[in-house]
Amino acid sequence: MNPTRIYVDADACPVKDEIYRVAIRHGLPVSVVAGNFIRVPQDPLIERIAAGSGMDAADDWIAERAKKGDIVITSDVPLASRCVKSGAEVIAPNGKPFTEQSIGMTLAVRNLMTDLRSSGEVTGGPKSYSPRDRSAFLSALDQAIRRIQRQRAQQPAQDQG
């Protein structure tokens, strides 16, 4: 069984350093995916992927590989939706999990806001990133890792029964 891999939608991710620390502590491989070159620590667990400059090249690269047992870090709602559908755990950099239960409404709100902005409505931007967001993210990432590890530990017992 392949280890849990963490996929990072890296272009605008404010928690890359936190992801690296948590991944190294748990011994988990990380794929840091960006449209072009991005600097990453020299560590055998961390791989840098330059997916290309196409419109959704990084998103497509992640969505094609993320599966059940993996974790995806992104604030991109359409990418989150694709990864949730493939069974991956998906977490926003502010710690908000994207789940099967929440992704439909999250996608609908995102599309509504996009439509409002394109029609000239001023909707305001996202709120600024705070220390509370960073703390919530670290907690959510640890919880996701522990949940996957528990599920994998129970898997052999279920397969035998």
- 83-133: pLDDT as tens digits: 999 999 999 999 999 987 777 666 767 666 666 667 776 666 667 888 999
Full-model pTM: 0.84
Tokens of 87: 């069974």
State the Cα–Cα distance between residues 121 and 135, nearest whole angstrom: 33
23 vs 118: which has the higher pLDDT: 23
pLDDT at 152: 87
State the Cα–Cα distance between residues 26 and 100, nearest whole angstrom: 26
pLDDT at 55: 82
Please count the residues of the chain: 161
**Tokens 């502590």 identify what position?**
25
pLDDT band at 64 (very low <50, low <70, confident <90, very high): very high
Q: Which of 25-29, 50-54, 82-86 has the lowest mean pLDDT?
A: 50-54
Give the CA dihedral 103, 104, 106, 109, nearest 10 degrees.
170
- CA 66 to chain centroid, in Å, comes to 9
Burial (Cβ within 10 Å: 0-12, 13-18, ≥19) of residue 160:
exposed
Residue 30 has pLDDT above 80, yes or no: yes
